[in-house]
């Protein structure tokens, strides 16, 4: 184990994306913050954070929660006013 210091932060995120993250965190039995932290650390190294089995579960959760956004949308999102 590596000792770290975590901080509380406010994070705005698209609604269905958050629903999928929360459901995935529940499925993996971990807090959402630790899930996001792991995703970020993998992304920083250009590595995929999920096994093929977990990726299949993510696809199921995306369908359940209506998440249709993809990486191609990442820098093109605009909030409704």
Q: DSSP for the chain?
A: --------------HHHHHHHHHHHHHHTS-HHHHHHHHHHHHHTT---S-HHHHHHHHHHHHHHT----GGGTT------
* Residue range of the domain that includes 49: 15-66
Residue 59 — very low, low, confident or very high, per pLDDT cuts 50/70/90? very high
Please indicate, yes or no, if residue 62 is contained in any of the structural domains: yes
- Domain annotation covers residue 35: yes
Which pLDDT score, from 0 to 100, does residue 36 have?
A: 97
Split into its structural domains, the chain has a count of 1
Residue at 79 is within a domain? no
- pLDDT tens-digit profile of 5-43? 999 999 999 999 999 999 999 999 999 999 999 999 999
Indicate yes or no: pTM above 0.85.
yes
Asked, for residue 30, whether it belongs to a domain, the answer is yes
């Amino acid at each position: 184990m590596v000792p770290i210091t975590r901080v509380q932060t406010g994070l705005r995120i698209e609604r269905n994306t958050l629903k999928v993250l929360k459901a995935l965190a529940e499925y993996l039995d971990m807090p959402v913050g630790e899930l996001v932290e792991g995703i970020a650390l993998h992304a920083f190294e250009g590595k995929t954070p999920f096994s093929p089995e977990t990726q299949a579960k993510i696809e199921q959760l995306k369908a359940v929660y209506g998440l249709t956004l993809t990486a191609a949308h990442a820098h093109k999102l605009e909030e409704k006013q």
